[in-house]
Amino acid sequence: MTRTIHVFERTVHEAHDWVNELSGRLGWTSERDVLRLLRTVLCNIRDHLPVNEMAQFSAQLPIVLRGMYFEGWQPKKTPVRERHAADFIAAVEDEVGDVLDYSGMQDIKAVFNVINARISRGEVEDVRANLPLELQDLWPAP
């Protein structure tokens, strides 16, 4: 007999909701690629934030996505000092540029819009305020 642990079911469902919403915004065919883009953008945001803000932001992510958010994090290398939007975009493209459906900045903004829709407005504003100005300009206000 298999027993269900409801917290696991709920967090998997919440993570699917994020992926499904982003998939709908992107129109991509592969959910695996959608999740890859989501994780990549989240981790690049993470690497630009001070530790306290990074932790506050992560607290609003579904547990499954939070695990991906922290996977591979190297505290001594953050926050990164890059200040230019082009560097952020290039870092995302290094990870997902081989995805046939990838359209660059338009797709990164789709991730920002999902975050705006799923994270509290106050937290999004705090995160954006901690980013370099060029990155703040890329991320539409909630």
pLDDT tens-digit map of 103-119: 999 999 999 999 999 99
Q: Is residue 40 part of a domain?
A: yes
More confident site: 79 or 57: 57
Amino acid 5: pLDDT: 77
87-124 CB burial, b ≥16 within 10 A, e <16: bbbebbbebbeebeebeeeebbbbbbbbbbebbeeebb
Dihedral sign from CA coordinates of 10, 14, 19, 21? positive
- Taking every pair of Cα atoms in the chain, the longest distance, rounded to a whole number of angstroms, is 55
**Does residue 7 surpass a pLDDT of 90?**
no
CATH number at residue 37: 1.10.490.110
The pLDDT confidence band at residue 17, using thresholds 50, 70 and 90, is very high
Q: What is the pLDDT of residue 134?
A: 94
| Total of domains in the chain | 1
97 belongs to a structural domain: yes
Establish how many alpha carbons lie within 13 A of residue 23's alpha carbon, considering only the half-sphere containing its beta carbon: 14
Decide if 32 is inside a domain. Answer: yes
Is 118 part of any domain? Answer: yes
Containing structural domain, residue 92: 6-138
Q: Is it the case that residue 94 has pLDDT exceeding 90?
A: yes
Please report whether residue 1 resides in a domain.
no
Span 80-91, pLDDT tens digits:
888 899 999 999
Q: Is residue 80 part of a domain?
A: yes
Burial class of residue 15 (count of CB atoms within 10 Å of its CB; 0-12, 13-18, 19+): buried
Confidence bin at 101 (pLDDT 50/70/90): very high
